[in-house]
């Protein structure tokens, strides 16, 4: 297949020279693990001591990786990506680490608000939420481990179920596809069971509700095949966002501390194989009650998906197959895919600057830890800077 992803003119067409220089600076910083550690510590200190750093954060890392502080702020970015680049958006309310019922209710309301927002805009085909956005982490753990809940915890869990159902029902009623993110393995069983119930209820005619499979877990292909079989037997559709994963170091550390086998693949090549085998299985069964959202920044996996689609007669614009990348990353994949007619959506995080900092710090740390990712971004940015200079 023709190599598409080296075309930097297409990749960065929406970026001004100033924005390109900012991206170059950010990825140079992120490529240095020591700088990421120092920057993280200084940011935590500045927020804790209430130093006036919001403007600095907003004009650098926040504006590169986020769409704005609220959904209306994001519209300028959404429209620009869609009209000029053919890339859709997934508005992701990226406020993390909340613990109270009031905060969970607020996250539910915000997710529902983004569903209504998406209904009115072709450029926003998906809504999204995290299970721990609408329920307490430790409660998912207890439910997943089949521990006995107190009377109060039973009521609390019923409220979590109700929030899930409210969000999924409103997505169904408004015909907006809904992605539900995956989180840490030791709370994921309870979330998986909840999402499966939502699929049973709202995916009878087509996919509205999507779960997420993090394929750095060696058990996810078997899980995918298992729920697909359930869907065939019970007569509903399966939607799955397939990604490599976001919590690898934490997973391994906890498994070591608690003395259980790591749920994470032993090597990067095994993770790649699990991802590739999972998306291959879905594409080969796409006509049998399946829909895929392939969340990947890996060029080889993306080419592989394109090849399998071609071999199986799946049109690039088939609504059952979407590609996804994070805003601020892998523009060479997103915009070149869109230019060639594929369905592409960028995850576009938003939220108050300081509330979104845990998300931004994780982005920096993940870029540092993924071999070659940051250098690839830098190489492409610098190639485009040189191209623009020479073309003048």
CA dihedral 296, 302, 308, 313 (to 10 degrees): 90
Of 238, 237, 234, 209, nearest to 223 by C-alpha is 238
Residue 96 in this model has a pLDDT that exceeds 70: no
Length in residues, the chain: 392
Q: Calculate mean pLDDT across residues 269-288.
A: 97
Q: Is 349 helix (H, G, I), strand (E, B) or coil?
A: strand
pLDDT in tens, 312-338: 999 999 999 999 999 999 999 999 999
Residue 15 in this model has a pLDDT that exceeds 60: yes
pLDDT in tens, 154-179: 999 999 999 999 999 999 999 999 99
Cβ(304)–Cβ(278) below 8 Å: no
- Of the pLDDT bands very low, low, confident and very high (cuts 50, 70, 90), residue 39 is confident
pLDDT-wise least confident of 23-32, 279-288, 334-343: 23-32
Distances in whole angstroms, Cα of residue 103 to Cα of each of 15, 29, 91 = 36, 34, 19
Residue 369 in this model has a pLDDT that exceeds 60: no
**Res 389: pLDDT:** 95
Give the list of residues 6+ apart from residue 375 with CB closer than 8 angstroms, or none.
31
**Res 67: pLDDT:** 94
**Res 30: pLDDT:** 81
Cα 48 off chain centre by: 28
Distances in whole angstroms, Cα of residue 327 to Cα of each of 31, 65, 118, 244 = 18, 6, 17, 17
Q: Calculate mean pLDDT across residues 194-208.
A: 98
**Res 367: pLDDT:** 61
Question: Largest Cα–Cα distance of the chain, in whole Å?
Answer: 71
Give the list of residues 6+ apart from residue 169 with CB closer than 8 angstroms, or none.
202
* Tokens at 139, concatenated: 């409660």
**Res 137: pLDDT:** 95
Residue 49 in this model has a pLDDT that exceeds 80: no
pLDDT-wise least confident of 161-165, 300-304, 353-357: 353-357
Q: Calculate mean pLDDT across residues 207-228.
A: 97
d(CA 219, CA 173): 33
pLDDT in tens, 246-267: 778 889 999 999 999 999 999 9
> What's the sign of the alpha-carbon dihedral 255, 144, 202, 313?
positive
Cβ(241)–Cβ(293) below 8 Å: yes
Cα 370 off chain centre by: 16
- The class of domain 66-355 in CATH terms is alpha beta
Residue 194 in this model has a pLDDT that exceeds 70: yes
pLDDT in tens, 221-243: 999 999 999 999 999 999 999 99
**Res 366: pLDDT:** 64
pLDDT in tens, 117-128: 999 999 999 999
d(CA 71, CA 320): 26
Of 284, 355, 375, nearest to 58 by C-alpha is 355
Sequence-ordered strand ranges (E) for 34-143? 88-93, 126-129
Q: Which DSSP category does 58 fall into?
A: I
Q: Which DSSP category does 149 fall into?
A: P
Q: Calculate mean pLDDT across residues 9-25.
A: 95
Cα 262 off chain centre by: 23
Residue 80 in this model has a pLDDT that exceeds 80: yes
**Res 37: pLDDT:** 75
Give the list of residues 6+ apart from residue 179 with CB closer than 8 angstroms, or none.
90, 126, 127, 128, 210, 212, 241, 293
- Of the pLDDT bands very low, low, confident and very high (cuts 50, 70, 90), residue 1 is low
């Amino acid at each position: 297949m023709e190599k598409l992803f080296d075309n930097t003119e297409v990749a960065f067409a929406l970026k001004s020279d100033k924005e390109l220089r900012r991206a170059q600076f950010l990825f140079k910083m992120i490529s240095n693990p020591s700088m990421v550690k120092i920057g993280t510590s200084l940011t935590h200190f500045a927020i804790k001591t209430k130093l006036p750093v919001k403007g600095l954060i907003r004009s650098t890392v926040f504006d590169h990786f986020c769409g704005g502080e609220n959904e209306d702020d994001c519209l300028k970015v959404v429209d620009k990506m869609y009209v000029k680049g053919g890339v859709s958006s997934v508005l992701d309310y990226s406020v993390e680490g909340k613990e109270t019922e009031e905060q969970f209710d607020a996250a539910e309301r915000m997710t529902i608000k983004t569903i209504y927002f998406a209904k009115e805009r072709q450029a926003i085909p998906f809504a999204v939420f995290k299970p721990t956005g609408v329920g307490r982490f430790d409660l998912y753990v207890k439910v997943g481990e089949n521990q006995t809940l107190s009377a109060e915890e039973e009521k609390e869990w019923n409220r979590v179920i109700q929030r899930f159902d409210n969000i999924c029902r409103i997505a169904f009623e408004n015909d907006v596809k809904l992605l539900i993110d995956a989180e840490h393995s030791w709370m994921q069983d309870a979330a998986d069971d909840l999402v499966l119930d939502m699929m049973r209820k709202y995916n009878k005619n087509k996919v509205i509700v999507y779960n997420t499979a993090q394929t750095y877990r060696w058990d996810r292909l078997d899980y995918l095949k298992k729920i697909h079989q359930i869907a065939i037997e019970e007569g509903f559709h399966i939607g799955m966002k397939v990604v490599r994963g976001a919590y690898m170091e934490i997973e391994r550390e906890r498994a070591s501390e608690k003395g259980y086998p790591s749920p994470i693949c032993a090597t990067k090549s095994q993770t790649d194989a699990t991802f590739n085998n999972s998306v291959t299985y879905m594409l080969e069964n796409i006509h049998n009650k399946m829909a895929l959202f392939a969340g990947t920044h890996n060029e080889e996996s993306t080419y592989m998906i394109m090849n399998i689609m071609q071999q199986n007669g799946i049109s690039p614009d088939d609504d059952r197959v979407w590609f996804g990348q994070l805003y601020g990353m892998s523009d060479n994949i997103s915009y070149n895919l869109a230019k060639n007619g594929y369905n592409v959506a960028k995850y576009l995080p938003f939220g108050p600057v300081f509330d979104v900092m845990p998300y931004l710090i994780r982005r920096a740390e993940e870029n540092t830890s993924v071999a070659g990712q940051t250098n690839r971004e830098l190489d492409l940015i610098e190639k485009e800077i040189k191209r623009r200079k020479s073309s003048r």
